[in-house]
Amino acid sequence: MSHTLFIADLHLCAEEPAITAGFHAFLRREALHADALYILGDLFEAWIGDDDPDPLHAEIAAALRELQQHGTPCYFIHGNRDFLLGKRFARSSGFSLLPEEQVLELYGRRMLIMHGDTLCTDDEGYQRFRRKVHQPWLQRLFLALPLFVRQRIAMRMRAGSKQANSSKDVAIMDVNPAAVIQTMTRQQVHCLIHGHTHRPAVHKLDINGQPAERLVLGAWHTEGSMIRVTPSATELIIFPF
């Protein structure tokens, strides 16, 4: 039966082999039979440049290439951890890089997909940080640094982020409801799929008197999370590795 799959927030890294194994199993068991696979950001724990020789990157690129050779096209939207993932890795994975907001026409239905961090407008500290690190000149400068320097900066940022998060109100780190409605209205959609908040749920909404829904993907910690869209339904599925 026709279906399309969406995942996000795997945070793959060498230190978490069970998640990587879960991803390989997901590709074989689920994605292989899908019409397409959309990865909505934070596939990796932290991305410091396509020239990073981490063997995990080559392993994931090979797995995604194989999936596509078997007939499942794959698409990627950047997350807040892997926004530096570039054309070189995209080429070696075979996937297409999509812009931060993408509207799909799926089985006759219009839907918007994105990572979800831009909807967290109450988190002003994060939005300031995001604006800074999204400046092309700063990214070029960062990418020109030696790998070990980039690794240290990324570690500092991760530590800074963890510390900042521990003192933030949990409500601040969720999406802003008005930002959701505004974005969906601007994109003229009644269905939105995103990740980032690690709060898997299906939210029923009302947009200008019409029913709408926002599906939120979960992060992959001890189990996997995916959204499956078929011609007749959209469902959030949590599954064991």
Given the rule CB under 6 A, which residues bind ligand LP5?
Answer: 46-48, 80-81, 84, 117, 120, 123, 125-126, 129, 133, 138-139, 142, 153-154, 156-158, 160-162, 164-165, 168, 173
With DSSP H G I counted as helix, E B as strand and the rest as coil, what are the percentages for the chain, rounded to 5? 35, 25, 40
Q: At closest approach, how far in Å is the CB of 123 from ligand LP5? A: 5
Q: At closest approach, how far in Å is the CB of 219 from ligand LP5? A: 9
**Would you call 155 helix, strand, or coil by DSSP?**
helix
Cα separation, 140 vs 142, in Å, equals: 5
Closest CA to 2 of 93, 94, 114, 109: 109
Q: Which does 106 bind (CB under 5 to 8 A by kind): Mn ion, ligand LP5, none?
A: none
Binding interface with Mn ion (CB under 5 A): 42, 79-80, 196
Q: At closest approach, how far in Å is the CB of 219 from Mn ion? A: 8
Q: Which does 79 bind (CB under 5 to 8 A by kind): ligand LP5, Mn ion, none?
A: Mn ion
Longest dimension (CA), the chain: 54
Q: Which residue is nearest to Mn ion (CB)?
A: 196
Under 8 Å CB-to-CB from 129, ≥6 apart: which residues? none
Long-range contacts from 134-143, C-beta under 8 angstroms, 24+ separation: 134/83, 139/84, 142/48, 142/84, 143/49, 143/84
Q: At closest approach, how far in Å is the CB of 162 from Mn ion? A: 13
Residue closer to ligand LP5, measured from CB, 36 or 215: 215
Q: Which residue is nearest to ligand LP5 (CB)?
A: 160
Q: What angle do CA 111, 116, 117 make, to 5 degrees?
A: 155
Closest CA to 155 of 81, 83, 61, 220: 81
Q: At closest approach, how far in Å is the CB of 229 from Mn ion? A: 21
Q: Which does 161 bind (CB under 5 to 8 A by kind): Mn ion, ligand LP5, none?
A: ligand LP5
Q: At closest approach, how far in Å is the CB of 231 from ligand LP5? A: 33
Residue closer to Mn ion, measured from CB, 10 or 212: 10
Residue closer to ligand LP5, measured from CB, 155 or 238: 155
Closest CA to 7 of 144, 15, 25: 25
Q: Which does 84 bind (CB under 5 to 8 A by kind): Mn ion, ligand LP5, none?
A: ligand LP5
Residue closer to Mn ion, measured from CB, 20 or 80: 80
Residue 237 backbone phi and psi in degrees, to 5: -125, 125
